Amino acid sequence: MTSTDQQPFLSVRDLKVHFSTEDGTVKAVDGLSFDVAKGKTLGIVGESGSGKSVTNLTILGLHDPAHTAIEGEILLDGENLLTASPRELERLRGNKMSMIFQDALASLSPYHTVGRQIAETYRKHTGASKKESRDRAIEMLRRVGIPQPDMRVDDYPHQFSGGMRQRAMIAMALVCDPELLIADEPTTALDVTVQAQIMDLLKDLQQEFGTAIIFITHDLGVIADIADDVLVMYGGRCVERGTKREVLRNPQHPYTLGLLSSMPSLEGPVDVPLSPIPGSPPSLLNPPSGCRFHPRCAFADKVSGGLCSTAQPALDVVDGRGSACHLTLDQRDEFFADFAVSRHN
């Protein structure tokens, strides 16, 4: 992940986010740690309900404080966000850290023009005049590739196409040149060509401003495109992390392996069947004992003493590389070899 001589820009330490519901406590995030350096992109991968979105809403302080218990530490540029006052968080949100949401149609206000929604963020954080903010909104729309931005600035979101709305959302998130950008599946709802354009746009903006990006997705193809480092989440915990190359080329956790196997490869032979992961994501209300992945894991019986169903495997991280699995390294080399063969020949 981060090299040792560099202070991480965002540092999340042993984060626990628990929701109290009528049925009991939902452990949405259960002991998560990671760092993101300036100018780098961390890809967070996982199924729905793995805790990836909750983690990022917590970073922004957008959780419901009445029903949420949070432990751990979130340091943004040395400042602990979990102890920051609401006013302080308001000052940071949309300014130093901002977020691109998944569903732009629902996430943009239907009652305000696109330009106004972008401009008011700028105005709030810079104190610029209405005119200056409007000009800034037009400039941002131009930068994200909206044609005729000086005309479209007064349109409402419903007058934009899906791709344009997502771009407007990005323009809004970037209007104050944030140093941390959280992108929650920003391209999931879009067709592939628009998706590629938006990914390029994010890369350009990152180069320009040195923004640290957290990219949340369940699409490993997108990760392969944009991420520097990858964090794989399962059931509210990190099961594997490392550089993009390490995780995608040499997965060390059966879950990561499963994700990769359920994705078609352009380089491999076409007749290799895709193998989806059996079963469904774990309940966070009553998580499985031991390793949370063991009920769905193809290798759980390979570990002696039924360890997988009784003991939670530790996540040992060396130089940013680590995985939480009871299998020995030799076992992994042996069992995961088939995957490597089908993948690379």
Partner 1 sequence: MFRFLVRRVFGALVILLIISAVTFWLFYAVPRDPATMSCGKNCTPDMLAQIRHNLGIDHPIPVQYWDWLKGIFVGRDYAGFGHCDAPCLGYSFANREPVLGTILDRLPLTLSLAFGSAVVFLVFGIGTGMLAAVKQGKWQDKVASSASLVASSGAWASGLLLPWLVLALIWTANYTRMTRSQLVETLSEDYVRTARAKGLSRANVFFRFAWRGAMGPIVTIFGIDLATLIGGAIITESVFSLQGVGRLAVQSVDKSDLPMLLGVTVLSAGAIVIFNIVVDAVYALIDPRIRLA
* 111 interacts with partner 1 by CB under 8 A: yes
**Quick one: which segment of 70-78, 88-96, 269-277, 284-292 binds partner 1 (CB under 8 A)?**
88-96
* Cα 137-138-141 angle, rounded to 5 deg: 85
Q: 190, 166 in Cβ contact below 8 A? A: yes
Q: 239, 52 in Cβ contact below 8 A? A: no
CB of 52 to partner 1, least distance (A): 16
Name the residue nearer to partner 1 (CB basis): 101 or 293: 101
Name the residue nearer to partner 1 (CB basis): 106 or 341: 106
How many CA atoms are closer than 13 Å to the CA of 179, on its beta-carbon side? 10
Long-range contacts of 138-143 (CB under 8 A, 24+ apart): 140/171, 140/172, 140/174, 140/175, 141/114, 141/115, 141/167, 141/168, 141/171, 143/171, 143/174
* 186 interacts with partner 1 by CB under 8 A: no
Going residue by residue from 123 to 152, which x/- string records binding to partner 1, judged by CB under 8 A?
-xx---------------------------
CB of 84 to partner 1, least distance (A): 12
Within positions 37 to 76, which residues make up the interface with partner 1, using CB under 8 A?
Answer: 60, 62, 66
* 110 interacts with partner 1 by CB under 8 A: yes
For residue 180, count other CB atoms closer than 10 A to its CB: 21
* 95 interacts with partner 1 by CB under 8 A: yes
Going residue by residue from 231 to 270, which x/- string records binding to partner 1, judged by CB under 8 A?
----------------------------------------
Question: How many residues bind partner 1, per CB under 8 A?
Answer: 30
Cα of 239 vs its chain's centroid, Å: 15
* 332 interacts with partner 1 by CB under 8 A: no
3-state helix, strand, coil in the chain (%, to 5): 40, 20, 40
CB of 133 to partner 1, least distance (A): 13
- Which of 18, 40, 93, 134 contacts partner 1 by CB under 8 A? 93
User: End-to-end distance of the chain based on CA atoms, in angstroms?
Assistant: 29
Distance CA 245, CA 237 (A): 21
- Which of 11, 121, 217, 252 contacts partner 1 by CB under 8 A? 121
CB of 308 to partner 1, least distance (A): 38
* Cα 103-108-109 angle, rounded to 5 deg: 140
Going residue by residue from 148 to 177, which x/- string records binding to partner 1, judged by CB under 8 A?
--------x-x-------------x-----
Distances in whole angstroms, Cα of residue 219 to Cα of each of 77, 204, 227, 262: 29, 21, 12, 11
Q: 289, 206 in Cβ contact below 8 A? A: no
Name the residue nearer to partner 1 (CB basis): 180 or 315: 180
CB of 298 to partner 1, least distance (A): 37
Name the residue nearer to partner 1 (CB basis): 124 or 343: 124
Distance CA 231, CA 10 (A): 14
- Which of 108, 140, 247, 277 contacts partner 1 by CB under 8 A? 108
Q: Where are the beta strands (DSSP E) in the chain?
A: 10-21, 24-36, 41-45, 68-76, 79-80, 97-100, 180-184, 212-217, 229-234, 237-243, 316-318, 321-323
Which residues lie near partner 1 (CB under 8 A)?
Answer: 60, 62, 66, 86, 89-95, 98-99, 101, 103, 106-112, 117, 120-121, 124-125, 156, 158, 172
